[in-house]
Every structure is written in structure tokens, then in C-alpha cells.
Amino acid sequence: MKKLIAAEDLVQLISVTDPNYSPDGTKVAYVQTKINEKKDSYNSHIIVYDTNQGQSYAWTHGKEKSHSPKWSPDGKKLAFVSKRDETSSIYVLRTDGGEAKKVAETPYDLTQPVWAPDGKSIVCSAKLTNKESLDDEKKAEIDSYEPLEIESLQYKADGVGFTRGKYSQLVLIDFATGALQQLTDHETNHSSHVFTPDGQAIAFTANYSEDKELNYVYDIHLLSLDDKKIRRLTNENGMFSSVSFSNDGRYAAFLGHEKEFKNATLTKAWIYDFHEEKLSCLTESLEVIFEDAVVGDTVFGAVSPDPIWTKDNKGFYALATDQGNTAIYYISIEGHAYPVRLEKEHINGFSLHPEEHMAIISSATPSWPSELYELNLETKEAKRITDVNESFVNEHIIIEPEEIEFESYDGMTIHGWLLKPAEYEEGKKYPLILEVHGGPHAMYANAYFHEFQVLAAKGNAVVFVNPRGSHGYGQAYVDGVRGDYGGGDYEDVMKAVDYVLGSYQFLDETRLGVTGGSYGGFMTNWIVGQTNRFKAAVTQRSISNWLSFYGVSDIGYFFTDWQLGYDLFENPTKLWEFSPLKYAENISTPLLILHGERDDRCPVEQAEQLFVALKKMKKNVKFVRFPNAAHNLSRSGHPEQRIKRLNYISGWFEDYL
């Protein structure tokens, strides 16, 4: 007999990500991640699928985390990142056997390895200050009592804490000798690095603008390995990443946008033509975002692939977010684009077979967590080739969500899902919980969501929709929330509740709950300050006061203006009008506040202010703080804390609904 899903079942879920075909197409390296037995961290290992045998074999073992597999150009070696001592380092395994070899010695973390075309060197990333050297015998210890001198707005980052002047720099490793050469030293982060096909230069993204703190851009640059000169390919007005070169070296493909709608702008596909020295956007008129914008809680360490070129140099494949799904699109150099795989699923990674007739995708569906699938690009048929989550699926009651679609107050079509209670019985009435995602520019999708299944197992129905502001439905749709927080988006989610109450007779309109995190936490705070329809609410890592958020969040000083359209000093009254804290006196819904103490994105003071205000007014409120937890607690935080968080949420609704 199948079991109901519990919060604790999170430890059974295994995440399969980052597939990479070997150069001859006979093997696929990928990463398999799960929570360890102590429930205090994650284990991740490199697994290799043999396409001839149809079997997977573990290539790394033990308690160390291993990830980022990259085949050498000749396919005889596999580089990966592992933390086997105090630092993360790059190791290489020979495909004919033997122990993994560390390629270089340094006290600093080396990550994100990329092979040179001749296989003689690797470019990677290292976080360094301008006073640190890769040749240091050991890393300087940080004195926790030493005062922190701050001169930059970018002095902290969520999930990192105080940056202390460290930036990601490019490092070249000579594979034969292990010699290290630092290639960049600008005080900015360098990423998305890749060699040109001739191995003479490295492309990367970085912000080299004069006022990088206030001019939030990421340009594509080209570093010549001969004279170390750097050339900028984009126009210092956008945000770009994910670079790859056509096989003949004529084109560089990359993804990004020119901030026409700030961070609500759709990511597009671009190329730079080196023959004509011309930059072109290939998907200007396509209402699709070329990135994985899905929000979820069971895919650990997903790596979106860079654009993958075809052998004829006439186009490339890229991942896109589209109508509640992620898809693989083909884009030609002439600007023709179409999906080659668009199903009801969340593809979080893919790799193209060298002969281009097959692809390997890592994908999840609403009723099955992430696995690897072999996709025939000619017949479009996909065959599951891993079964790491099969026992979990077979042993538990997993509810398939029903898709819904309705018109909002202004005629805009809203798309979403309803999850029935796990032990639904005809004729019974059940409570309904509204879930609101974060972002706001993210998207719920056709993917397994553990939190929703836990709530359904407790006898709740769950409605989750993509209100205006969500990705996946075009440029105007995603931009619709900017300057209107708590306006049209509020109407959308409230209309979702009205729609399902009117469409499903088993829902009890007197037992409504609401929850969400980040922007979803803001919306939860806003909703209970505007209406008393909900009998219970749980707000997570939320925003309550835009006036203080401006100065305490790692992104507050620009995000507030980008999203609300008002500056703290020019329009403080407007920011207060958008703040749920202003409406705290109206709140009568029992409210549970969950927040991480090391959240630098939505700092814990946002929760403290709301709690103090409500407690002083003698409202029904409870505040739970998670020590050392950052903003991503629900997705990649401490496993035991994640389980406790789920039990706090389901318990609160159980008490009040």
C-alpha cells in the first residue's frame, strides 16, 4: 500500500542534473545529489552512463561533494570539482581507470573547469582579493573580531555573506605541470568563461563599467592569451552570460538582454559575427525567455547549458522557459527559432550527441522527480534511462495537479494548477491553500514540488498560479507587475481562489490559507493586510517594509527602483504605500513568520519589524528564526532545517484550517 508523503521524505529524493556527452558519444557524465544520512548536508557524485551497455556507474565515492564534470577534448579524461580537503579543487580521472588526480595546488578554491581545445590546459575560477596570490602557501585566516572596512555597495551577497573584497578571477592551469596563471585582476566577478575554438583567447562575462556599483551590467569580453588584451563585444548596457563558439570560430552565441525592462526583460539569444564585427539579437520578436526560470524545491545543483552549436555552424540549441514548462529551442544564425522539445516537464539541463541525432536531458514532471532521458531528435521520443527516484514514486501517493486557466479582472489569462488532497473522497469538503512564488520573475511549472505534495498529504487542496510578473508568458506579462506590487498581481491570485472555489465543489471557502516566500512572502503579507478571507497564513523570507529594504538588502538599492519605480529619497511616501507593514493594523489572520537569520536578500529585520508591530497590537502571530539560513533555505538550505520548515508550514495550517 502506498504511503502519504511527509516532510521527512525529502531525504529520499535524488536530484539528477548536468548531463554531458563524451566527445565520442559513448558515455554521459552527470551529477547525482541527495541529502546525507545525518541530514546535515548533501552528497553529490559524478555518475557515468554507458550508452552501449545502458548502465550507470559511480565514478566518485565517499562523503566529499563532486560536481561540474567536463570531458577532455579527446574524451580520455574527465575533470570535475571536489572538496577533498579544506578547499574545493579540480581533479581529473582517466577514463581507462586509476585514482583522481588533483591538477593544481593552491589554498584557494578552484571551480568551474573548462578544457582548452588541445587538452593541455584548463581555465577555471578562483575567488581572490587584490592582496591574495594563488602562490600563497596557505590562505589567511579571517579574524572574526577584526573590524570590517566597507567602501563598496556590493560588500555582501546572499548565500555568501560579507564578500571582503573577493572577486571571481580567471585562472589558467597547465595540465602537465599544474602551474597556475591568474588571467584577470579587475575588482569584479568574471564568469561564463570558455575558450575560442583555436584556443588563442577566452571569452567571459564581467562588469568593467566605470561605475560598476550603480551601472549594473555584465558584458561579453574576449581575452587574448598572447598579449592579454581584453576586447568588449557587447554595448555596456545589458546583462549577458552563457557564451559558446561556433565550431569554425566565426560566431559567438550567448544569452542576455539590454535591460529595456530592467530585470523583467526577457533573456534573448544573441550572436557576435567576428567576420563582420556585428552584434545581433536573434530572438527579438519571440515572446520566450531563454533561461530556466522555474521555481522548485527538489532539483539541487542544476546547471543550465551554454548554447550548443550544430556541426554545420548554422545554429544552436538553448534552454527556454515557455508556458509553465522548460523547452529546448533551436535558433538559426538567420534568427529562425522553434522548439524541438516542448512537453509538460521541467528540463533543467541537456547535452547534444556528437552526431546530433540524440540528446540527453535531465527532466522532472509533476509526478516524477528529476531523471535522465534519452531524446531521439528525429522521432521526438524520450526514454527514461535512470531510475533513481523510482522506489520513491512507487511507494508514495503523488497527486498529479490539474491545469487551470481563467481570466483575471482585466481579461488577462492566468495559468496555473490545482492539487487535490491526497486522500480525496467524493462528498467531503477540504481546506484550500494558495501558494505564491517568489521572484517575482519566476514561474511555477509542470514539475514535482515536494512542499505541495506534503500539504496535499495533510488533507489540503493547493492552488498555485503564475500571476502577472511571472516568466513564461511574454514580455508584457512579466513586466506587468513592475510599479504595481499589490495591484494587478493581487487581483490575479485572489481571482485564482475565486475560480477554483467556483469550479470545485469539494473546496471549503471558510477554510482558506495562503503562503509564499520572498516576493511570495511580500504577497502573503500584503494579502492578509487587505482581506480577512484567509484563516491562516505563513509568510517566508518576506518583505514587509520597502523603506528599510532599500538599505539592508544586498540588492535593495537598485531592485527597489527597478521593481517599484520609486527612489527612497525622492518618493519615500510611495515606498511606504507599497509596504505591507503600513497595513499591519488590518491583519486579523493568524500569521506564522519564517525567516533565515543570514538572509541578505530579504534580511531578517523585515520579519522582525512585522512581528513586533503585530505583537504590540496583540495579533495572533508567531516568529520562527532559522540560524545561519540564507534566502535559499527552502531549496538548498540545511536539510534538517528544510524538513522543520515544511513541518512548521503544514502544522500551522493544520492548527487553523
Report pLDDT digits (tens) over 573-583. 999 999 999 99
Would the pLDDT of 128 be above 90?
A: yes
**Whether the predicted pLDDT of 297 surpasses 90:** yes
Enter the DSSP assignment of 581: G
What does the pLDDT average to over 423-443? 97
- Considering the chain, what percentage of its residues have pLDDT values greater than 90? 94
C-alpha cell at 618: 496583540
Q: Calculate the average pLDDT of the chain.
A: 96
End-to-end Cα separation, the chain, in angstroms:
28
What's the confidence (pLDDT) of residue 605? 98
Which is it for strands 278-281 and 315-322: parallel, antiparallel or unpaired?
A: unpaired
Distances (CA, A) of 518 to 236, 486, 539: 30, 14, 9
Position 229 pLDDT exceeds 90: yes
Please report the pLDDT score of residue 456 as a whole number: 98
Residue 225 pLDDT level (bands cut at 50, 70, 90): very high
How many of the other CB atoms lie within 10 Å of CB of 170?
A: 22
Average pLDDT over residues 263-274: 98
CB 309 within 8 A of CB 354: no
Say if residue 85's pLDDT is above 90. no
pLDDT number for residue 137: 84
pLDDT of 103 reads 96
- The 3-class secondary structure across 75-130, one letter per residue, is CCEEEEEECCCCCCEEEEEECCCCCCEECCCCCCCCEEEEECCCCCEEEEEEEECC
Residue 395 pLDDT > 90, yes or no? yes
Longest dimension (CA), the chain: 76
Distances (CA, A) of 295 to 37, 185, 263, 299: 26, 34, 17, 10
Prediction pTM value: 0.97
Distance from C-alpha of 75 to C-alpha of 71, rounded to nearest angstrom:
6
Domain ranges of the chain: 399-656
Q: Taking residues 219-238, what's their average pLDDT?
A: 97
Percentage with pLDDT > 70 across the chain: 100
From its phi and psi, is residue 48 left (phi > 0), alpha (psi between -120 and 50) or beta?
Answer: beta
Predicted local confidence at residue 294, as pLDDT: 97
In this prediction, residues 510-536 reach a mean pLDDT of: 98
Q: How far apart (Å, rounded) are the C-alpha atoms in residues 345 and 527?
A: 30
Q: Which residue has the higher pLDDT, 62 or 81?
A: 81
- pLDDT, average across residues 89-97: 94
Judge whether residue 520 has pLDDT over 90: yes
Paired with 278 in beta bridges are 273
15 has a pLDDT exceeding 90: yes
The closest of 336, 383, 393 to 363, measured between CA atoms, is 383
Residue 300 has pLDDT above 90, yes or no: no
pLDDT digits (tens, 9 = 90+) for 198-214: 999 999 999 999 998 88
Band (pLDDT 50/70/90 cuts) for residue 108 is: very high
Residue range 354-380: average pLDDT?
97
Determine the topology of domain 399-656 in CATH.
Answer: Rossmann fold (3.40.50)
Mean pLDDT of 237-243: 97
Residue 139 has pLDDT above 90, yes or no: no
Is 632 exposed, middle or buried, given 0-12, 13-18 or 19+ CB atoms closer than 10 A? middle
| CA pair distance 275, 252, nearest whole angstrom | 11
The answer to whether residue 63 scores a pLDDT higher than 90 is no
Q: DSSP secondary-structure letter at 235?
A: -
Q: What is the pLDDT of residue 64?
A: 83
Catalytic (active-site) positions = 518, 631
Q: Is the pLDDT of residue 532 over 90?
A: yes
Confidence check: pLDDT of 310 > 90: yes
Residue 272 pLDDT exceeds 90: yes
User: Band of the pLDDT at 110, cuts 50, 70, 90?
Assistant: very high
Residue 427's pLDDT is 95
Q: Which residues contact 616 (CB under 8 A, 6 or more apart)?
A: none
Sequence-distant (6+) residues with CB within 8 A of 496 are: 404, 406, 414, 416, 434, 463, 465, 467
